[in-house]
Every structure is written in structure tokens, then in C-alpha cells.
Amino acid sequence: MKILACLKQVPEKDSRYEIRADGSWIRNEDLSFDASEPDEYGLEEALRLKEKQGGEVILLSIGPERVEKMIRKGLAMGADRAVLARVEGRRLDAHLTARVIAAVAKQEQADLVITGIQSDDIGLVQTGAVAAEMLGWPHVTLVMGVEVLEGGTLKVQREMENGWLENSEIPLPAVLAIQSGISQIRYASLKGIMAAKKKEVRKVSADELIAGDSARLAIGKVMFPPAGKKAEIVPGTPKEAAAALVDKLKREAKVL
């Protein structure tokens, strides 16, 4: 089975953001970047499927040259090779991102495309399903489990609301958008890191893959959320704050 695992690069989890003077985007200059966590769950699931079924995991990333560092990390985790669809100086919306994914899935003749359920930056929660629509393939989102059945179909577990789950069967080729928490994301081993250096990263132009198509959404402005109602901060050392809090819970809130 040939699996295309999509990995987006986003600012690191604990980033402190600054906004450009014109409000058009965040200031990238002082940020560090890492893989979007939901996509890492996707990659992990791709690797597990390969370990059980055999086949190949091809990593796909869209972005500027700096993305290659993250790609190496994904290769070190166990992906076999990678495609970097380069795009400099602009960001693609969900529709164009899906266009690139669909194009590479066809080039690579993938049987399965895996994405995270959403990205940790804009988080439009749709890229995988949109790529499936473009490809004419079935898809499942919010995936909490995948199993290959005899006969080559997939048994897929989908998370529903309020603690309910659904098991379904879909044929390949297909797209899965993996829910965070499906499993534990592995760390790259030293051996993996060494091996990753020699693995192939094929570079293609994202612009060529989306030629003739256009974006459907555009980010107008980035803002800090308005300061809403704020908690009353209880000051002091940890001991002082704890004592003052207990006092407030007794006398003000009357809940102790």
C-alpha cells in the first residue's frame, strides 16, 4: 500500500506571537517552526499501517525551503521518502492546498492519503475531505482507528460527539483525516535520524500544480483576541496565593 502522509509546518506550540504592522499576518522572523501536531498523528498512523501491511509512506509537505528540516524529522520517524511542494512568499488556502495534495496523490499513484483533522495554525478542518472530493475518492474524518481488511478495504473508526464511535468500511483509494489522540506519536531513533539524511526529497513547484486554479478564501487580518472578562488574579507566592484563594472561596464565593 502506498500512503501519502501530509505534514504541515506551523509555528511551534508555545510560540509567542507578534503581528505585522499592517495586520496581514504574524511576524515570522522570530518564530521557530515545527510539524502541526494533528498531522503528526496522521504520520504516525501511516507508519503503523505500513508496519502491519508493508508498502511505502511518502511524506508530502507544502511550503517554503525551511520546511525541509521538518521533512527530515518525518523521514527520521520512518517515512520512506518525501515530496516538498515549494511555495514561497504566499500561503495557500484550503482549496489550493487540497489541489496540491490531490495532484501529488495522482503523480505518486497513492492508495491512501492521510492528513491530520486540522492544522494548528488556521485550522479550517477540511483539507483532507476537499482533496477526496477532487480525487473522487471516499473519505472519513475524525478517524480514531484504521484496520486493513482482507480484500483490501479499510475498517475505519470515526469519533462522533458525546463519546460515541462509528465503525465503517470503505474501499481504497481513500482519504483519512486523523483525529488527534488516535495513538502515541513516536520519537525518531538515532538510527532513523542517520537514515533520514540519505532519503529522497523530491522538490516540485506548488505553483505549477495549482496552475489555472484560484483561492476561494483569503485571510484579511490577524488580531489578538479582545481582552474579555478576566479572572481575578490572586497574587502572592504560591503559599500566599493558595491561602488567599481558599479565603475567597469561603467568604466571597461561599463554596467551601
Site for other proteins in 192-231 (CB under 8 A): 214-225, 227-231
Q: With respect to other proteins, which residue has the nearer C-beta, 12 or 200?
A: 12
Q: Which of 53, 123, 188, 199 binds other proteins (CB under 8 A)?
A: 123
| CB closer to other proteins out of 34 and 80 | 34
CA-to-CA distance for 108 and 22, rounded, in angstroms?
40
Q: Does 234 contact other proteins by CB under 8 A?
A: yes
**For 163, left (φ over 0), alpha (ψ -120 to 50), or beta?**
left
Q: Give the number of other Cβ atoms within 10 Å of residue 150's Cβ.
A: 5
Counting residues that bind other proteins (by CB under 8 A) gives: 79
Convert residues 55-94 into a mask of x (bound to other proteins by CB under 8 A) and - (unbound): --------------------------------------xx
Strand, helix or coil for residue 150: coil
Using CB under 8 A, which of the segments 52-60, 64-72, 104-112, 138-146 binds other proteins? Answer: 138-146
Question: Would you say 58 or 94 has its CB closer to other proteins?
Answer: 94
Please give the Cα distance from 110 to 104 (Å, whole number): 8
- Give the residue with the Cβ less far from other proteins, 125 or 148: 125
Contact 125, 116 (CB under 8 A): no
- Quote the least distance from Cβ 23 to other proteins, whole Å: 9
Q: Which of 186, 144, 196, 157 lies closest to 51, judged by CA?
A: 186
From residue 156 to residue 195, the character string flagging contacts with other proteins as x (rule: CB under 8 A) and all else as - is --xxxx-xxxxxxxxx--------xx--x-----------
Give the three-state DSSP class for 78. coil
| Cβ nearer to other proteins, comparing 107 with 167 | 167
User: Minimal CA–CA distance to 38: which of 126, 167, 130?
Assistant: 126
For residue 25, the Cα-to-chain-centroid distance in whole angstroms is: 20
How many residues in the chain?
Answer: 256
Q: What DSSP designation does 237 have?
A: S
**Closest distance of CB 43 from other proteins, Å:** 15
Nearer to other proteins, 119 or 196 (CB): 119
